């Protein structure tokens, strides 16, 4: 019986190899936000519709788990590895292992910090610095329109410490506000991109002297989930989020559109999680022996209270 089973397994593998079926290992970083859930659905759904054999793992926001997943994909001899690195450092050894095994790695959604960019074939995702700049530019315009003056105190909810989107969304935002001496970040703390920790951090902000002193309270969150947690904390503390603060998020998830439509939040900068189709286009090109671009950015916009209510049904239909 065992021999028959083993034979069937070997047959199945060789049939799929003969049919040219592509195997991809995707070392997802976790399930920390609605963005991530949509991203996972896109990666899984697109593999299924293209008949790609996807080996998927979830590292629960731990780098060591992601490294182990990549090593196991190398051992299994997959065709291509997809990796959204949870933090941006500490990847060189495992990327070198993949390179030596001749398995291309596509960085999907987050970047790594390395001086040797031959360790991965390509990056697909967002320009996080531009997202931070969009958030800053929106804020400057809003303050000018509302008060005729660019001043205020920013309470910043930072993403996962050391993650590319957290580093760059901060950098981009600071690039813009640096020109305005009366607009400053007065508190900045990580909420690890989750709703629960966003709420906790906001609870601490509300108790701080900076909060009491602030004249124009601005909340800038590196993702919508942390902002939605913060809105809960504000409401529980008796603060009217939409009236007493200016609230900015990133991602543009449907729940943020809803919060904006309800007047509890002001704006969200889009970060597109639906990168499955572009990702597998790159995978298929690689397997066909073609060269692919080193960087592929996804198209993104900014949605505020002028349009969020009208666009909510469309957003919900996406993810
Ligand atoms: O913005 C955030 C998620 O890496 C772009 O990760 C992604 C970010 C996204 O947890 O919500």
SS3 per-residue string spanning 164-207: HHHHHHHHHHHHHHCCCCCEEEEEEEECCCCHHHHHHHHHHHHC
Pair 123, 111: CB distance under 8 Å? yes
Q: How far apart are the CA of 38 and the centre of ligand 1, in A?
A: 11
Confidence of residue 7 (pLDDT cuts 50, 70, 90): low
Q: How far apart are the CA of 271 and the centre of ligand 1, in A?
A: 8
CA dihedral 89, 94, 95, 96 (to 10 degrees): 120
**Residue 126 CA, closest ligand 1 atom number:** 5
10 has pLDDT over 50: no
Query: Ligand 1: which of 34, 223, 229 to mutate, judged by most atoms within 8 Å of the beta carbon?
Result: 223
Pair 1, 8: CB distance under 8 Å? no
| pTM exceeding the 0.75 threshold for the entire prediction | yes
Query: Ligand 1: which of 35, 58, 319 to mutate, judged by most atoms within 8 Å of the beta carbon?
Result: 35
Q: What is the CA radius of gyration of the chain?
A: 22
Tokens of 267: 């704006």
Confidence of residue 185 (pLDDT cuts 50, 70, 90): very high
Contacts of 203 (CB under 8 A, 6+ apart): 233, 237
User: How far, in Å, are 102, 155, 207, 227, 263 from residue 210 at the CA level?
Assistant: 53, 9, 9, 19, 24
Q: How far apart are the CA of 114 and the centre of ligand 1, in A?
A: 20
**Residue 34 CA, closest ligand 1 atom number:** 11
Spatial separation of the C-alpha atoms in residues 218 and 147, rounded to whole Å: 14
Spatial separation of the C-alpha atoms in residues 259 and 255, rounded to whole Å: 6
pLDDT given at position 128: 96
Residue entry with tokens 């788990």: 65
Question: Which domains, from first to last, does the chain contain?
Answer: 2-126+273-288 (3.40.50.2300), 128-271+303-318 (3.40.50.2300)
Q: Any residues with Cβ below 6 Å from ligand 1, and which?
A: 32-33, 35-36, 109-110, 126, 165, 193, 223, 225, 250-251, 271
For 111-169, write each residue's pLDDT tens digit: 999 999 999 999 999 999 999 999 999 999 999 999 999 999 999 999 999 999 999 99
For 26-78, write each residue's pLDDT tens digit: 999 999 999 999 999 999 999 999 999 999 999 999 999 999 999 999 999 99
């Amino acid at each position: 019986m065992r021999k028959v089973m083993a034979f069937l397994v070997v047959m199945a593998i060789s049939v799929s190899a003969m049919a040219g079926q592509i195997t991809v290992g995707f070392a997802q970083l976790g399930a920390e936000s609605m963005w991530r859930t949509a991203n996972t659905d896109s990666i899984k759904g697109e593999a299924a519709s293209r008949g790609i054999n996807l080996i998927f793992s979830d590292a629960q926001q731990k780098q060591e788990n992601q490294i182990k997943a990549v090593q196991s994909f190398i051992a299994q001899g997959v065709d291509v590895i997809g990796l959204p690195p949870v933090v941006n450092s500490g990847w060189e050894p495992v990327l070198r292992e993949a390179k030596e095994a001749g398995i291309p790695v596509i960085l999907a959604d987050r970047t790594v910090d390395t001086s040797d960019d031959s360790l991965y074939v390509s990056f697909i995702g967002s320009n996080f610095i531009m997202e931070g700049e969009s958030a800053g530019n929106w804020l400057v315009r809003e303050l000018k329109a509302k008060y005729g003056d660019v001043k205020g105190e920013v309470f910043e909810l930072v993403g996962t410490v050391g993650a590319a989107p957290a580093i760059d969304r901060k950098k981009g935002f600071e690039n813009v506000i640096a020109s305005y001496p009366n607009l400053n970040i007065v508190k900045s703390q990580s909420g690890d991109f989750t709703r629960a920790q966003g709420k906790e951090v906001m609870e601490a902000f509300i108790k701080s002297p900076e909060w009491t002193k602030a004249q124009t309270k601005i909340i800038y969150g590196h993702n919508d989930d942390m902002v939605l947690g913060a809105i809960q904390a504000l409401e529980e503390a008796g603060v009217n989020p939409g009236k007493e603060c200016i609230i900015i998020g990133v991602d543009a998830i449907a729940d943020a559109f809803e919060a904006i439509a309800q007047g509890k939040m002001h704006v969200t900068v889009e970060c597109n999680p639906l990168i499955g189709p572009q990702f597998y286009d790159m995978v298929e090109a690689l397997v066909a022996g073609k060269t692919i671009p080193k960087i592929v950015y996804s198209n993104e916009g900014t949605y505020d209270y002028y349009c969020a209510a009208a666009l909510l049904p469309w957003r919900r239909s996406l993810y």
